[in-house]
Structure 1
Amino acid sequence: MTNSMQEADKSNVILITGTNTTWNHPVFGGMIKKAVKEKGVKLIVVDPRDIGLAKLADIHMKQNPGSDNAWLMGLQHIIVKNDWHNKEFIKERTEGWDDYVKSLEFYTPEKVEEISGISKEQLFEAAKLYATAGRGAIFYAMGITQHSHGVDNVMACSNLQMILGNYGVEGTGVNPLRGQNNVQGACDMGGLPNVFSGYQPVANEDARKKFADAWGCKLEDMDDKVGQTVTTMVQNAGASIKGLYIVGENPMMSDPNQTHAKHQMEKLDFIVVQDIFLTETAQIADVVLPAAAFAEKYGTISNTERRVQYTNKALNPPGDAKHDHVIVAEIAKRMGCKDFPETVEALWAEIRKLTPSYAGISHERLQKLPGLRWPCPTEEHPGTPVLHGGKFSRGLGLLKAIEYKPSAEYPSKEYPLVLTTGRLLQHYHTGSMTRRSKVLEGIMPSGMIEINVNDAAKLNIKDGERVKVSSPRGSIEITALVTKKIKEGIVFIPFHFAESAANILTNDALDPVAKIPEYKVCSCKVEKIVKNL
């Protein structure tokens, strides 16, 4: 996030899209509710379902799944045409204006209505409110990123904020709500195939030399090639990938096109899984290494607003379970690696030494404070709640000309509905933890498919009946939830439930840049299951 969650009440208007915030980020969802109800912050929600925040919205636009770059650029078309853009900010802090403006010509209100299903009148109303209200903040999640054009969607959000000058000030910014509690920290530490910690590129020779010197390696032994993402690793299993060491991940449930993913995993010579429970993936592993849960270890967590927080250990891990870093250090030792950091303190010292944005964040400071937000380059630095105050990390912000790209798969005669997937309030990701909770499992023990009342009537499906859902990749059986809360022609399935695994249906088409799968759009059909008497 460029800004922080606590700034929600500093905004004049908030745009929520691609996130069912009150379900998936309920604490922050409460902050949004409070800002709207008590501070009078205006709210625009863009979602094909009647999510919780839609009830409070000044404007709720129900877009067709996969049309986000169209309606986002359509807003900008209207803003520029009506002279509501921030000319001073654009002139002083951005580049690429000419190509960008030319690209807006495609996104007329009429064209956007055709693509997105959002009426040109409602699009104009939203553009006017967002552009003229004052400080505007965008909050989004996987509903924006998990597309075959997810990078373009994010760039469209950035474009919108730049042309309005919504950067570097409280209550503004582009703010992704990350999908897991420490996924920000994992990325910060180089858990991406193209960077070292602190987003230092592996292709940069100076960065490689810095890490080679710290780790006692030769520069020529430091690979300068970008590695593979989780999805491409599975795609290349049995070819360039012979084995996988999987830590805290459950690809046998979370990867798209599950039948194909399972087939690929079977090609591997060797699988190691390090996790706190025997997940679906751990069940097919050659070796399972039991890890400690969050309350059984100490260290740091970096959350979605870049806030680094210290966590204390509450109890010892059960049985043979160990802290993740202890397991990795033990393996490194057995492989002959000398001087591998074995304690949290030693690891943190290395992180601070090699990662400029974390250099000023000590455990001692964190134990006295409610966290520090990077960049924090020195121990005297207070942290950085708001990014891009004086300039962008690249200098001038790039206004990106975005060409409209449709999703990889759309409805057909055989598969006439659009499936989108997501999470419920009661469960988390593949259910590895939450489905072991008697309370949560008692509230929501099984999956369901949300289907519009009109679609259900056409298919003679009643609420609570069992249905078969099929896509070009496979089929599942699940219970129907007939509702008016989802747009006609669209169905929704949560992906927590192995017995009705949504990812058997989803498409493994990838964004060409980020390699993110298209979990949010695929074609499907729904059929009533008729019992034989």
Structure 2
Amino acid sequence: MITPDQTVRTTCPYCGVGCQMNLHIKDNFIYRVSAPFDAAPNYGMLCVKGRFGTDYVRHPGRVKTPLIRVNREDRTAPPVWREATWEEALELVASEFVRIRNTYGGDAIAAYASAKATNEDNYLYQKLIRALIGTNNVDHCARLCHAGSVTGLQLSIGSSAMSNSIAEMENLDVFIVTGSNTTETHPVIANFLKRAVRKNGAKLIVIDPRHIEMTDFSTLWLRQNPGTDVAVFQAMAHVIVKEGLYDPDFIAGRTEGFEDYIESLEELTPEWAETVSGVPAEKIREAARIYASAKKAAIYWGMGISQSTHGTDNTLSLVNLALMCGHVGKAGTGLNPLRGQNNVQGCSDSGGLPGVFTAYQRVDDPDIRARFESVWGGVPLNATPGLTATEMVDMAEIGKVRGMFVLGENPMMSEPNQNHARHALSHLEFMVCQDIFINETGEMADVILPATSFAEKDGTFTNTDRRVQRCRAAVPPVGDSRPDWEIFCDLGRRIETRLGVRAGFEFSDPAEIWEEMRRVTPDFWGITYDRLEREGGVHWPCPSFDHPGTPYLFAEEFPRGRGKFWEVTFGTNSEQPDAEYPFNLTTGRVLYHWSGSTMTGRSALEEIFPEAVCEICPEDAEKVGVASGEWVQVSSRRGAIKLRALVTGRSPKGTVFVPFHFAEAAANALTLDRIDKRAKIPDYKNTAIKIEKTTAPEGIEAGYEMPLFDRGAIKDPVQVH
């Protein structure tokens, strides 16, 4: 048995659950990962990614030194790199960004913050962009994941975070899961939800077009046609109103707009919804009665709700249900978007959004700006909200954005309509990528700055239920890589010198950065590093040292005062299947991978799930003339990919599923770049496609035809004959 040199408690780098994990270190190598049984939120549980997905930390492909592109004249050509010193690389970055700023203005530069970086990293990053570059053009992957949720929640209640805690899940009475394949995207949360059903007899309503594992635990499954969520939710609201199942006291005391809202529901009967969604009217009635009649009921949703041109309307419809039934503001209830990345909540909280500083303090509020200006050396701050991530790409194409800083993100994999994104970014005058590997976006960069991984740095992450937790360094940095915050301090001072200002980039460790964050963020004031060491984690808002933190929100009031009912109109998908493109494509995650597989693709998990598959139902597979393991070409109006078919009962008729993790079969080469007009989030869940049987791509080895599910990587909940 190996005796570790040290064991370090830290936070998992994958999904938003924020699992606590122990890294067992021998000779500066992570040889084992375990989970402490006494630590929230996971209490001894880890999914396969957390337990077996840390190999990438010492992968030989890590970027170990700054790199400068030699062939900068053609950003689309294969890159030729030369190694550089930190001095040379940062001097180049500082001089180029200052040149663009002084020539075209600060708004000609755009910045991607990172859901993989710590709170302290992201705070310092957005400070650099706002105080020194002079723009609010800072956004991150939340725009591509839960912007529909964020916008809908802000409009209706004034807060976009998950309202209730993970700890409450085991004791639920009734809960809805919609647009979330929870067992694969948030496996530990799924375990708590399954326990609520198995041990406590909770009633689960699943609303999802795919046959996900959670349906096997449900009291009721509503299998709606893709993109018809609003119709189902509005019909449920219609039933609740007509049968008098709403909470009049809560509505009178805590909400506004109810009378106008119920008038809009008059014609939205379950029978109407059945014609649109395919869900039987009686199932809609049953779901409405179960949810509304519960003493406590919660709603959990994922990107199946938010990633569409009507993602905001989907969210508003869910909020309407919770408000009319009074299922918010107490334990075991609430509105709970399950956030994807390990620090996507924290990046948003830390100012990684174009319209807000930390904790959603608006950049166009003069009093809030004055507070930040006083702490940031008196540098005047831009009052105009910046570009969203999707807008940054469009503005690069037309020359409005000329410089770009990409921190730990990969827009060339995550942006929709990949060919459009590549063409747009090729117009940039200067691009910097700061990351641990050279990814598809990094291949287009002028400079690569090597950052440290989660296991090599200190700081804090904030999980999906607003719990701030520590990240701790367990192994030394690879090569000459540096923590993100340290890079920003060095770069910030160089830019300050060129501009003749001092905003403050003299920090010696992340704890000092957190102290500045506390000074400008009332919601964080009661959270200190010492307290996190003692308590393990604290839920914000926590406005004072004696405040216990806030596991659930809105006990007394909503941030906007009263919760607002919004009239929502059902709209069809932005791209409908037709004779030429007869199928609908939906994209998402699988258990063994994460996002663009930058990390999982460099771990042992790649051996279990090494490739993309096209999940297709038996009826559609018969139409196409394809069997599991055979190659198909999937094409949209924007591109085409080759991958193997997997015939499965998970997919409904007319819809196929493709994971978005694999560059060699990039789902976003197909997806539509049309966006939700309010949230600016693309429609990843509804793309018209055609499927054709084809031959294997060149270079595929003999014997590679073995179906993927024979390797044990995929469980099919429906027996296919």
TM-score (norm 1): 0.98
Q: Which amino acid aligns with 1:20?
A: N
Q: Pairwise mapping of residues 34-113 of structure 1 onto structure 2 (< 5 A)?
A: 34-113=195-274
- Post-superposition shift, 1:214? 1.2
Superposition misfits of 4+ residues, deviation over 6 angstroms: none
Letter matched to residue 143 of structure 1: G
Aligned AA (2:378): C
2:389 counterpart letter in structure 1: V
What is residue 544 of structure 2 aligned with on the other side?
Answer: 378
- State whether structure 2 residue 414 is matched by structure 1 residue 254: yes
Amino acid at match of 1:226: P
Residue of structure 1 in register with 2:395 after alignment: 236
Counterpart contact for 2:237–2:288, Cα < 8 Å: yes
For 2:226 and 2:422, locate their aligned partners in 1 and report how far apart those are by CA, in whole Å: 27
How far residue 114 of structure 1 moved from its aligned partner, in angstroms, is 1.8
Cα displacement (A) at 1:531: 8.1
- Within the candidate set 357, 362, 384, 1:201 is matched to 362
User: For residues 146-225 of structure 1, what are the structure 2 equivalents within 5 Å?
Assistant: 146-218=307-379, 221-225=380-384
User: Who is 2:154 aligned against?
Assistant: none
Is 1:320 matched up with 2:486?
no
2:688 aligns with one of 513, 523, 529: 523
Task: Tell me: CA distance 1:296–1:31, structure 2 relative to 1, closer, same or farther (3 Å).
Answer: same
C-alpha distance in structure 1 between counterparts of 2:557 and 2:171, whole Å = 21
2:460 corresponds in structure 1 to 300
Q: Distance in 1 between matches of 2:211 and 2:426?
A: 40
CA distance in 2: counterparts of 1:483 and 1:449, whole angstroms: 10
Which residue number in structure 1 is paired with residue 63 of structure 2? Answer: none
CA distance in structure 1 between the aligned counterparts of 2:299 and 2:696, rounded to whole angstroms: 48
Q: What is the CA distance between 1:152 and its match in structure 2?
A: 1.2
Residue pair 1:434, 1:440 contacting (<8 A) in 2 also:
yes
1:422-467 residue CA offsets vs partner (Å, 9 max, x unmatched)? 0000000000000001x21110000000001001111111111100
Q: Distance in 1 between matches of 2:462 and 2:695?
A: 50
Give the stretch that moved more between structures: 97-106 or 293-302. Answer: 97-106
Structure 2 CA distance for partners of 1:341 and 1:389, relative to 1, 3 Å: farther
How big is each residue's C-alpha offset from its partner over 1:344-399, in whole Å with a ceiling of 9 and x where there is no partner?
12211110000010000000000011200011000111000110001111111101
Secondary structure, aligned partner of 1:181: coil
1:341: Cα distance to partner? 3.9
Q: Is the 8 A contact 1:452 1:484 kept in 2?
A: yes
Percent identity of equivalent pairs? 46
Q: Distance in 2 between matches of 1:485 and 1:149?
A: 24
Q: Return the letter of the residue paired with 1:502.
A: A
Q: Does the 8 Å CA contact 2:586/2:655 hold for their aligned counterparts?
A: yes
Q: Do the aligned partners of 1:447 and 1:497 also contact (CA within 8 Å) in 2?
A: yes
2:613 alignment counterpart: 448
Matched, 1:340 2:501: no
Q: Find out whether 1:432 has 2:598 as its counterpart.
A: yes
Give the aligned partner of residue 405 of structure 1. 571
* Cross-structure match for 1:139: 300
CA displacement at 1:530 relative to structure 2:
5.5
Q: Note if 1:477 corresponds to 2:477.
A: no
Distance 1:34 1:123 in 2: 25
Matching of residue 499 in structure 1 with residue 664 in structure 2: yes
Post-superposition shift, 1:293? 0.6
Distance 2:424 2:589 in 1: 26
Contact 2:633 2:643 in 1 (8 A): yes
1:264 aligns with 2:455: no
Residue 194 of structure 2 aligns with which residue?
33
In structure 1, what residue type is equivalent to 2:678? V
Structure 1 equivalent of residue 442 of structure 2: 282
Q: Tell me if the contact between 1:10 and 1:170 (Cα under 8 Å) persists in the aligned partners.
A: no
Q: Does structure 1 retain, via aligned residues, the 8 Å contact 2:247–2:326?
A: yes
Q: Return the offset for 1:295.
A: 1.1
Paired residue secondary structure (1:477): strand
Look up the SS of the partner of 2:627 in the other structure.
coil
- Please give the alpha-carbon distance, in whole angstroms, between the structure 2 residues aligned to 1:407 and 1:241: 30
Aligned to 2:586: 420
CA distance in 2, matches of 1:481, 1:5: 34
For 1:165 and 1:138, locate their aligned partners in 2 and report how far apart those are by CA, in whole Å. 12
Distance 2:323 2:303 in 1: 22
Q: Is the 8 A contact 2:411 2:441 kept in 1?
A: yes
2:627/2:647 contact within 8 Å kept: yes
CA contact (8 A) 1:4 1:385 kept: yes
1:62 deviation in Å? 1.0
Written as runs of structure 1 = structure 2, the 5 A alignment for 1:343-382 is 343-382=509-548
Q: Is the 8 A contact 1:341 1:347 kept in 2?
A: no
Taking only aligned residues, the RMSD between alpha carbons, in angstroms, comes to 1.2
Between the aligned partners of 1:346 and 1:240, the Cα distance in structure 2 is 36
Measure, in 1, the Cα distance between the counterparts of 2:554 and 2:468. 19
Name which of structure 1's ranges 4-13 and 285-294 shifts more when overlaid on structure 2. Answer: 4-13
C-alpha distance in structure 1 between counterparts of 2:686 and 2:617, whole Å:
17
Query: What residue in structure 1 maps to residue 184 of structure 2?
Result: 23
**Structure 1: distance between partners of 2:307 and 2:514:** 32
Q: Secondary structure at the match of 2:579?
A: coil
- Give the AA of the match of 1:69: V
| Cα distance, 1:180–1:531 mapped onto 2, change above 3 Å | closer
Deviation sequence 1:25-62 (CA, Å, 0-9, x none): 01111111111101111101111111111111111111
Structure 2: state its 5+ residue gaps.
1-161, 698-721
Shift, 1:319, TM fit = 0.8
Query: Which residue of 2 is the match for residue 273 of structure 1?
Result: 433
Q: Deviations over 1:492-529 (max 9, x none)?
A: 00000011100000011111111111111111111111
SS of the aligned residue for 2:396 comes to coil
Give the distance between the partners of 2:574 and 2:229, measured in 1 at CA. Answer: 14
- TM-score with structure 2 length normalisation? 0.72
Are the aligned partners of 2:631 and 2:696 in contact in 1 as well (CA < 8 Å)? no
Worse-superposed segment, 22-31 or 337-346: 337-346
Which whole-Å deviations, capped at 9, do the CAs of 1:262-312 have from their partners, x for residues lacking one?
111111111100011111111111000010111111111100000001122
Assess if the C-alpha contact under 8 Å between 2:585 and 2:685 holds in 1: yes
Greater relative CO, 1 or 2 (CA 8 Å, sep 6+): 2
Matched letter for residue 543 of structure 2: P
Judge conservation of contact 1:169–1:386 (CA < 8 Å) in 2: yes
Matched, 1:118 2:283: no
